[in-house]
Amino acid sequence: MLDSVKKRGMKVNVRKTKLMVFARSESTTECGILIEGQKVEKVKDFVYQDSLFTNDGKHDRDIERRHKGGAEYDPYCDPDNPIKVEYEEVLAASRRMAGAVVRTPCPLSHLSEKLNMDLYMKQEFLQYTGSFKERGVRNTMLLLDDLQRRKGVVAASTGNHAQAMSYHTTDMGIPCAVVMPETSPITKISKCERYGAKTILHGQTLAEAKRFAMSLANEKGMIYVNGYDHPHVVAGQGTAGIEIVQDVPDVDAVLIPIGGGSLVCGVAIAVKHLKPDAEIYGLGTEKCHSMMDAVKQKERIFLTIDCSLADGLAVNKVGVNTFFSIMCGGLVDKMVQVKEEWVARAIMHIVESERIVVEGSAAVGVAAIMAGLLPNLKGKKVVTILTGGNIDTTILSRALERGMAAEGRLVKFKVTVTDRPGGMAELCSRLADIGVCIKDCIPERAWVKADVFSVQMKVLCETKGWDHTNKLVDTIKRHYKEYTFTENIQDKSSKRGPCLARNPVCMRK
């Protein structure tokens, strides 16, 4: 029977218990499934469920795209036929990719003691382009056939996916176009160009860039690679999960940031297979919570997101396949949203204790623990994935300042002192006496209510934390009549930062 099928120019593919037979011509597609030698079922059933991970079946989704029509239709992410990636695909990806991406370490964090748990940090920022996104991209590129490799690939992204695509396609000699909104930062555009991709600026938003990228792919016969939903991307990201269980075999919980959902799905598939009792926590922020909303409403809803410190998680609508996989159950045990201010504080603590710079999206695991959102993890073995290190230097410095302010370590106040010789010097020496470091000090003479022999000093200083800040407040109150502290410092009993985030509830002093 197989011979007769082959003679008719059809391709044959045997997978598990199913024998799949399909044929193609330029204009038409005839497909079918023979199950245990029986007659054929419909095309779509096997095209979507079985042929994806087989070499021979790759083109069927492209053919299907022509059938379904529409430039915005992505055959790999079809809402009518979502795909759940299996552990075998993740394992195969891990073997396939060996040596092509960094096998990142997962050491015990210095923060463990402070946070009352054995906290391990999977250091994905050590990938060449600075994020885990390389895993999914490399796996997807390795699964392209010769024709697809010659025609090339398209992505729409301004972030880590774009960089990973640019680098790995160049490495493999695959033409790659990355479409970005016209408003994209020059640094991001030039990074992709430096890695070797052709960058195309189109539209004002990522949604517009994506639409253009998909129509370009359609027109040129290139493959559009969705960075958070393509099943090969999901399988590639999952390889990090295999490594986590290898390095921390008795892991109790894994904390995973969620944007479109590829990382959480891939890693959960691997971890739940290898260590079924390990818990998976999906993390978003108060601004980036598309997956949480989608799961709650049982529908992939569109979330409007303005600027977020965790910009890698700023996905308006989660993936078709990732949403489906999570809704099937058994992958993610709990999802939490953390305030952005805690993300800034987490970045600061990671810099200070680990000497590591991570981007906001990568810090959400530590942020959630610090914010006291995961009290049940006390005393447990926990892995958090430091997913990327691509943070702008200006954003980093702002995050560090916000973090310090939120912890009462950066204090701003105004105080009126005498403008006679020695008045300012006296203020400085009073601050020096209690070990407070002045970062900035500006005298204001024109717009002050006090007499003309007074000057208002606007002071920004650094302290060791809330207790030290309280000492500073007491010193100023004792020696001066007119002073104003920023709201958070005045309200010292509540120990709130400007972001209204409380002190870390589960951190030891």
Ligand X SMILES: Cc1ncc(COP(=O)(O)O)c(C=O)c1O
* Residue type (1 letter), 126: L
247 neighbors 146 (Cβ within 8 angstroms): no
> Interface mask (CB under 6 A) for ligand X, residues 372-401, using x and -?
---------------xx-------------
Closest to ligand X by CB, 241 vs 260, is 260
Closest to ligand X by CB, 227 vs 504, is 227
403 binding ligand X? (CB under 6 A) = no
Q: Interacting stretch for ligand X, rule CB under 6 A, among 35-43, 246-254, 312-320, 407-415? A: 312-320
Q: Which of 20, 263, 303, 373 binds ligand X (CB under 6 A)?
A: 263
DSSP 388: B
338 neighbors 286 (Cβ within 8 angstroms): yes
Collapsing DSSP to helix, strand or coil, 358 comes out as coil
Q: How far is the CB of 86 from ligand X (least distance, A)?
A: 18
Give me the sign of the Cα torsion angle 444, 445, 449, 453: positive
* Residue type (1 letter), 432: A
Q: Interacting stretch for ligand X, rule CB under 6 A, among 19-27, 170-178, 357-365, 398-406? A: 357-365
Q: Which of 163, 184, 262, 463 binds ligand X (CB under 6 A)?
A: 262
218 binding ligand X? (CB under 6 A) = no
Q: How far is the CB of 160 from ligand X (least distance, A)?
A: 4
82 binding ligand X? (CB under 6 A) = no
238 binding ligand X? (CB under 6 A) = no
368 neighbors 336 (Cβ within 8 angstroms): yes
**Total site size for ligand X, rule CB under 6 A:** 21
Name the residue with tokens 């004002």. Answer: 204
284 binding ligand X? (CB under 6 A) = no
Q: How far is the CB of 282 from ligand X (least distance, A)?
A: 9
160 binding ligand X? (CB under 6 A) = yes
Q: How far is the CB of 361 from ligand X (least distance, A)?
A: 4
Per the rule left: phi > 0, alpha: psi between -120 and 50, beta: everything else, 436 is beta
Which of 408, 404, 415 minimizes the C-alpha distance to 488? 408
Q: Interacting stretch for ligand X, rule CB under 6 A, among 155-163, 175-183, 423-431, 483-491? A: 155-163
Q: How far is the CB of 481 from ligand X (least distance, A)?
A: 50
383 neighbors 263 (Cβ within 8 angstroms): no
Closest to ligand X by CB, 313 vs 320, is 313
Q: Interacting stretch for ligand X, rule CB under 6 A, among 173-181, 254-262, 415-423, 436-444? A: 254-262
Angle (CA) 381 136 60, round 5°: 135
For the record, the structure tokens of 34 come out as 């023979």
359 binding ligand X? (CB under 6 A) = yes
Closest to ligand X by CB, 104 vs 463, is 104
- How far the first Cα of the chain sits from its last, in Å, is 74
Between the alpha carbon of residue 250 and those of residues 328, 381, 385, 438, the distances in Å are 26, 7, 16, 47
DSSP 109: P
Q: Which of 82, 257, 408, 497 binds ligand X (CB under 6 A)?
A: 257
260 binding ligand X? (CB under 6 A) = yes
428 neighbors 446 (Cβ within 8 angstroms): no
Q: How far is the CB of 262 from ligand X (least distance, A)?
A: 3
Closest to ligand X by CB, 206 vs 377, is 206
163 binding ligand X? (CB under 6 A) = no
Angle (CA) 205 144 81, round 5°: 65
3-state helix, strand, coil in the chain (%, to 5): 45, 20, 40
140 binding ligand X? (CB under 6 A) = no
362 binding ligand X? (CB under 6 A) = yes
Which residue blocks in 377-500 are alpha helix, DSSP H? Answer: 393-406, 423-433, 466-479, 487-490
Q: Which of 140, 285, 321, 361 binds ligand X (CB under 6 A)?
A: 361
Which of 329, 370, 323 minimizes the C-alpha distance to 346? 370
Q: How far is the CB of 136 from ligand X (least distance, A)?
A: 8
Closest to ligand X by CB, 160 vs 488, is 160
Which of 230, 82, 57 minimizes the C-alpha distance to 155? 230
Q: How many CB atoms lie within 10 A of CB 39?
A: 8
Query: What is the C-alpha to C-alpha distance for residues 188 and 101, in angstroms, rounded to an integer?
Result: 21
Q: Interacting stretch for ligand X, rule CB under 6 A, among 198-206, 308-316, 333-341, 419-427? A: 308-316
Q: How far is the CB of 369 from ligand X (least distance, A)?
A: 17
113-138: b (≥16 Cβ within 10 Å) or e? ebbbbbbbbbbbbbbebbbbbbbbbb
Q: Which strands sit side by side in the sheet containing 437-444, from one edge to the other?
A: 437-444, 454-462, 410-418, 483-485
Closest to ligand X by CB, 20 vs 326, is 326
365 binding ligand X? (CB under 6 A) = no
Q: Interacting stretch for ligand X, rule CB under 6 A, among 86-94, 257-265, 372-380, 499-507? A: 257-265
Q: Interacting stretch for ligand X, rule CB under 6 A, among 262-270, 335-343, 437-445, 463-471? A: 262-270
Q: Which of 57, 82, 236, 259 binds ligand X (CB under 6 A)?
A: 259
Give me the sign of the Cα torsion angle 44, 48, 51, 52: positive
**Would you tell me which residues interact with ligand X (CB under 6 A)?**
131, 159-161, 228, 257-264, 312-313, 315, 359, 361-362, 387-388
